[in-house]
């Protein structure tokens, strides 16, 4: 537990990606099996300790300290594991540190009651840093700035292999990954688990930057945007998935290889084919069109899904590419060939849950740019450009594919409320609710239209924090209400990807991906935008217009 807790502590305090990788590589090199394998399972979120959850930890601490003092402490610290590790009434000097493999193996074989008792016993023995690591480990959700992907990159570096090689076999492996480490140590062959319907590492695109816009060696020459070189498709606002159905096994993976099949049994049932398809998972609206992302959101992150949910929000896949058909791996074929195979494939499939992503005609850059900003449906984020000769490569190669998102919408809004951030931002007011003007009973009034956190430089964060502290007119718990009148107020330029009607919001509107683009210290608050401006940006209601 000591080496594990030191690793977590250093990872959380290190900002540099490369240093994080170095720390993990060193740890994996210096730590024997199976301890390092269990650590890897923790880092990649693959470890599920049944029984002991955040709720158990809460119960344990509330049995030991005053719940009111716990609430105040948690409110200040903002992280359950950290709060409990610091507050736990331990016995000083009783520090005996069990190794991580003993801890995990004991927990995996324990019932819930036993698990809680074990955890409580260890918390009594440990000092705060190890307590924190233990709680993080048993409850999952580390939030230490290391993704499963980064852990795999570190593994790849340790073994001198490509990360894609690890991703390809990952689903056939299980903690504590001894065969994987033996291979990476050079002491054994690469494990070849018999995975049915495996995940194939996904091909991703770079954002399009054209040579006339930026002096970037990877920028695209506008002359290259030619129908003989590039194909174009719409980029839909759903989630990118890989649907695989082979030898009687069907799986739906996210683009990072997470298996989300259980969340979409309706799509799974429709996968009557032997192939691996790359596409966008979308919800079909009653009128047959693509429903807004919000609808898809309602179906994500569910362990189980009810019949009612599936009927109200039927899921479908819009196919972009075909990677495997029957026994034939198509990834080495050029996109032009794969596209033909895909068209035939979708035609043959009689399911209404799988359709084809249409091509967008390519003439030149200007025409495409116009199309990009006027897509046929609001649920389109922009364009994808794919070279006709591109093979399907894992990762994000430069050159073959580009994504070209539509420009965000921009409005000037006035800051209304500020809330302290969490974690790194827990001492700064960094989450803001903003509003626009509208006509009220007594003249113009301000109505909230969205909330976003500010993610720019620390310097600007400090200035904003100062503004909030100096212009507070009221406080409600962690929230401060700030001056927002025509005479005094701070204008924030807000960028967002889309707008929807929402009866749940006071303004009747909901923004998608709002973020603060710029602080307009120069702009008088009276000149911020009005609600009417936003209403004009609303897409036509698909139900009333086309239904």
Contact footprint for other proteins (CB under 8 A): 9, 12-15, 65-66, 68-69, 72-73, 76-79, 82-83, 86-87, 127-128, 132, 423-428
**Residues 514, 494 contacting (CB under 8 angstroms):** yes
Whole-number Å distance between alpha carbons of 379 and 319: 16
Least Å distance between CB 71 and other proteins? 10
Token pair, residue 523, equals: 């702009």
User: 85 or 390: whose CB is closer to other proteins?
Assistant: 85
Which class for 530: exposed (0-12), middle (13-18), buried (19 or more C-beta within 10 A)? middle
- HSE toward the beta carbon, residue 421, CA cutoff 13 A: 18
User: 194 or 470: whose CB is closer to other proteins?
Assistant: 470
User: 142 or 436: whose CB is closer to other proteins?
Assistant: 142
Query: How far lies 311's CA from each of 237, 265, 298, in Å?
Result: 21, 12, 13
Show the CA angle centred on residue 249, arms to residues 244 and 255, nearest 5°.
30
Per the document, the length of the chain is 547
Show the CA angle centred on residue 339, arms to residues 338 and 340, nearest 5°.
90
Show the CA angle centred on residue 449, arms to residues 286 and 540, nearest 5°.
30
- Which residues contact residue 520 at a Cβ distance below 8 angstroms, ignoring those fewer than 6 apart? 412, 490, 491, 492, 493
User: 69 or 174: whose CB is closer to other proteins?
Assistant: 69
Least Å distance between CB 464 and other proteins? 15
User: 77 or 446: whose CB is closer to other proteins?
Assistant: 77
**Residues 35, 104 contacting (CB under 8 angstroms):** no
Least Å distance between CB 138 and other proteins? 18
User: 260 or 479: whose CB is closer to other proteins?
Assistant: 479
Omega prior to 325 cis, within 30 of 0: no
User: 419 or 500: whose CB is closer to other proteins?
Assistant: 419
Least Å distance between CB 260 and other proteins? 31
Whole-number Å distance between alpha carbons of 213 and 63: 62
User: 82 or 280: whose CB is closer to other proteins?
Assistant: 82
User: How many C-beta atoms lie closer than 10 Å to residue 209's C-beta?
Assistant: 15
Whole-number Å distance between alpha carbons of 29 and 36: 9
Show the CA angle centred on residue 392, arms to residues 387 and 394, nearest 5°.
120
Element of type H or E holding 329: strand 328-329
Q: How far is CA 79 from the centre of its chain?
A: 20
User: 459 or 487: whose CB is closer to other proteins?
Assistant: 459
Element of type H or E holding 460: helix 458-470
Q: How many helices (H) and strands (E) does the chain have?
A: 20, 20
Whole-number Å distance between alpha carbons of 169 and 173: 7
Element of type H or E holding 479: strand 479-482
User: 21 or 316: whose CB is closer to other proteins?
Assistant: 21
- HSE toward the beta carbon, residue 202, CA cutoff 13 A: 21
User: 73 or 351: whose CB is closer to other proteins?
Assistant: 73
Least Å distance between CB 85 and other proteins? 9
Token pair, residue 341, equals: 């195979």
User: 160 or 477: whose CB is closer to other proteins?
Assistant: 477
Does residue 145 come out as left (phi exceeding 0), alpha (psi in the -120 to 50 range) or beta? left
């Amino acid at each position: 537990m000591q080496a594990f807790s030191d690793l977590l502590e250093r990872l959380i305090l290190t900002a540099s990606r490369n240093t994080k990788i170095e720390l993990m590589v060193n740890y994996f090199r210096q730590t024997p099996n199976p301890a390092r394998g269990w650590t890897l399972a923790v880092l990649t979120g693959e470890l599920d300790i049944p029984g002991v959850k955040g709720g158990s930890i809460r119960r344990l601490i509330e049995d030991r300290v005053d719940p009111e003092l716990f609430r105040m402490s948690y409110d200040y610290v903002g992280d359950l594991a950290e709060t409990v590790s610091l507050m736990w009434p331990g016995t000083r000097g009783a520090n005996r540190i069990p190794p991580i493999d003993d801890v995990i193996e004991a927990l995996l074989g324990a019932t819930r009651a036993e698990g809680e008792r074990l955890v409580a016993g260890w918390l009594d023995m440990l000092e705060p840093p190890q307590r924190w690591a233990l709680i993080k480990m048993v409850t999952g959700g580390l939030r230490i700035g290391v993704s499963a992907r980064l852990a795999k990159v570190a593994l790849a570096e340790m073994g001198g292999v490509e990360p894609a090689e690890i991703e390809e076999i990952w689903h056939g492996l299980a903690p504590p990954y001894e065969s994987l480490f033996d291979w990476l140590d050079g002491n054994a062959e690469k494990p070849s688990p018999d995975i049915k319907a495996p995940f194939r590492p996904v091909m991703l695109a770079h954002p399009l930057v054209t040579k006339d816009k930026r002096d970037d060696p990877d920028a695209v020459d506008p002359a290259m945007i030619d129908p003989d070189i590039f194909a174009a498709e719409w980029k839909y606002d759903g989630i990118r998935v890989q649907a695989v159905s082979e030898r009687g096994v069907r799986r739906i993976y996210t683009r990072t290889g997470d298996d989300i099949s259980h969340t979409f049994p309706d799509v799974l049932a429709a996968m009557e084919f032997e192939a691996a398809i790359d596409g966008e998972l979308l919800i079909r609206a009653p009128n047959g069109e693509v429903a807004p992302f919000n609808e898809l959101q309602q179906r994500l992150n569910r362990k189980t899904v009810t019949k009612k949910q599936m009927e109200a929000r039927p899921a479908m896949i819009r196919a972009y590419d075909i990677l495997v058909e029957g026994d034939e791996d198509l990834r080495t074929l050029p996109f032009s060939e794969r596209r033909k195979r895909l068209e035939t494939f979708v035609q043959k499939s009689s399911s209404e849950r799988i359709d084809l992503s249409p091509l967008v005609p390519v003439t030149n850059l200007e025409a495409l740019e116009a199309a990009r900003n006027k897509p046929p449906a609001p649920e389109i984020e922009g364009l994808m450009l794919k070279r006709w000769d591109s093979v399907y490569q894992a990762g994000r190669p430069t050159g073959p594919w580009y994504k070209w998102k539509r420009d965000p919408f921009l409005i000037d809004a006035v800051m209304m409320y500020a809330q302290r951030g969490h974690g790194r931002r827990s001492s700064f007011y960094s989450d803001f609710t903003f509003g626009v003007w509208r006509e009220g009973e007594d003249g113009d009034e301000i109505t909230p239209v969205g909330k976003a956190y500010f993610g720019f430089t620390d310097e600007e964060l400090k200035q904003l924090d100062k503004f909030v502290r100096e212009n507070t007119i009221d406080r409600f718990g962690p929230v401060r209400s700030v001056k927002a009148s025509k005479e005094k107020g701070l204008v924030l330029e807000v960028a967002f990807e889309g707008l929807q009607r929402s009866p749940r919001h006071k303004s009747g509107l909901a923004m998608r991906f709002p973020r603060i683009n710029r602080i307009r210290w120069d702009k008088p608050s009276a000149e911020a935008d009005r609600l009417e401006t936003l209403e004009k940006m609303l897409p036509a209601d698909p139900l009333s217009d086309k239904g």
